[in-house]
Amino acid sequence: MPELFEKTEVAFGGAMHAQKGIITPKNGLTGVLMQNIQLSYQQQVTRLYELGNAGQKSRVYYVGGRAQGTLTVAHVIGPGVSIALFYKTFGDVCKAIDNTCEIDLTPNICATSKGQPKAKYKMKFCVLISIGMSVSAQDFVVNENSQLMFSGLEYLGT
């Protein structure tokens, strides 16, 4: 039977749920009551043009620069030991060589075909660059926003 409203028929593309954690617990990330994460990764690209010859097309060139990223996390200030480990792990620029963060979406993806699909990101050389705090008189929950910078992003998918 054709679609009731004569729209393009659709096919099932897969499913996912949001019941499992997505931050891989390692390097001081366990127990810091993460509430929100935002990842940004970009590369600098310079566009160069040649003058060219009269009557002919000029060329454009792209020069790729270095990539850099930021990870912004919002969490609730909770047990002192957990947040102290977070600061100690990511706050020292000299330890950035060992600091990675992983966001793993694999546990939330339903296996709809043969094999389990993967969706995992790994940020390398993470270091804490800023923190900010806020609190409301109504509930006195201390919220913190932390920003980390990183210099490499790997996609560890299928």
Average pLDDT for the chain? 82
Q: For 74, phi and psi rounded to 5 degrees?
A: -110, 130
pLDDT of residue 150: 95
Q: What is the share, in percent, of the chain residues with pLDDT greater than 70?
A: 75
Lowest mean pLDDT among 81-90, 106-115, 121-130: 106-115
Q: In the predicted model, is pLDDT for residue 27 greater than 80? A: no
Q: Which residues of 79-93 are buried (b: 16+ CB within 10 A; e: fewer)?
A: eeebbebbeebbbee
Q: How far apart are CA 148 and CA 75, in angstroms?
A: 13
pLDDT of residue 115: 61
Lowest mean pLDDT among 28-32, 52-56, 76-80, 148-152: 28-32
**What global pTM score does this model have?**
0.74
Q: Distance of CA 80 to CAs 21, 33, 83, 95, 100, Å?
A: 21, 11, 5, 21, 22
pLDDT band at 102; cut points 50, 70, 90: confident
pLDDT band at 35; cut points 50, 70, 90: confident
pLDDT top residue among 101 and 128: 128
